[in-house]
Amino acid sequence: MATATKTKTQAPEEAISIKAPDFRFLEINIRGTAPLVVNRFSAKAIQMMRATQEAGSAAKSKKTREPKDFDALFENAKHVSNEGWEGIHAAAFRNGAISACRAIGYKMTHAKLAFMVMADGFDRVDGAPLVRLSEGVAEQWEAPVRNATGVVDLRCRPMYREWAAVLTIKYDAGMLSSNDMVNLISRVGLQVGIGEGRPDSKASAGLGFGLFEII
């Protein structure tokens, strides 16, 4: 008995069209409406961690508590560029803008590809990209904090009570408009914040630090 043979139909070819990247630049002037507190991981802390890891188990028996130099902690926590000016980690603004996308229903995975905050310079210690502070003088701020072990410790950080900066944003105009970017950065300043004690802090509800307005 003969059986019918099935013939496969070839799917029609689909034309693929990928637009050329359309990256543009936008400058946004901001001014702090709340104090800014920064905290760079110091070179000394990195060296101590490395020494402990290199020593292995022997490090536990030789562990001694050195006196805390609050002035040194204050200076080491600053972000200072190769040229000598003080700034903010550029990633703080980008991460804040990505986080703000939760409030508007824009996919955070898309936001990661849509824009970046350009660096004005780089940290002289760890090479981190920095946004330059156009205004602001750091003062020594001390606050008690509770460590992961539950022990209360006293921390010293640079605080800028009044501060300002100019952000240079590189964005994909095919994904976001310039008006979208301005509104997104505005939400960072009003809802998310940057630096230590910001409202959107991962470790706590924040202290209301790091907020700003567009001027």
Structure confidence at residue 56 (pLDDT): 66
pLDDT reading at 15 higher than 60: yes
Tell which wins on pLDDT, 204 or 86: 86
- Confirm whether 3 is domain-assigned: no
Burial 31-46 (b: 16+ CB within 10 A, else e): bbebbbbbbbebeeee
Strands 164-172 and 36-37: unpaired
- Confirm whether 139 is domain-assigned: yes
- Neighbouring-strand partners of residue 125: none
Structure confidence at residue 136 (pLDDT): 97
Structure confidence at residue 16 (pLDDT): 85
Q: How many CA atoms lie within 13 A of 158 on its CB side?
A: 24
What are the tens digits of pLDDT across the range 29-61? 999 999 999 999 755 556 656 666 666 665 565
Domain of residue 106, residue span: 23-214
CA distance 199 to 215: 21
- Confirm whether 179 is domain-assigned: yes
What are the tens digits of pLDDT across the range 125-145? 999 999 999 999 999 999 888
- Structural domain total, the chain: 1
Burial 4-20 (b: 16+ CB within 10 A, else e): eeeeeeeeeeeeeeeee
Tell which wins on pLDDT, 3 or 99: 99
> What is the number of residues in the chain?
215
CB within 8 Å of 186: residues ≥ 6 apart: 213, 214
- Confirm whether 122 is domain-assigned: yes
The pLDDT confidence band at residue 105, using thresholds 50, 70 and 90, is: very high
At residue 129, what are phi and psi to the nearest 5 degrees?
A: -70, 135
What are the tens digits of pLDDT across the range 59-96? 565 566 678 888 999 999 999 999 999 999 999 999 99
Structure confidence at residue 169 (pLDDT): 98
Percentage of residues of the chain with pLDDT beyond 90: 67
- Confirm whether 132 is domain-assigned: yes
The pLDDT confidence band at residue 147, using thresholds 50, 70 and 90, is: confident
pLDDT reading at 172 higher than 80: yes
CB within 8 Å of 29: residues ≥ 6 apart: 164, 165, 166, 167, 214, 215
CA distance 123 to 81: 4
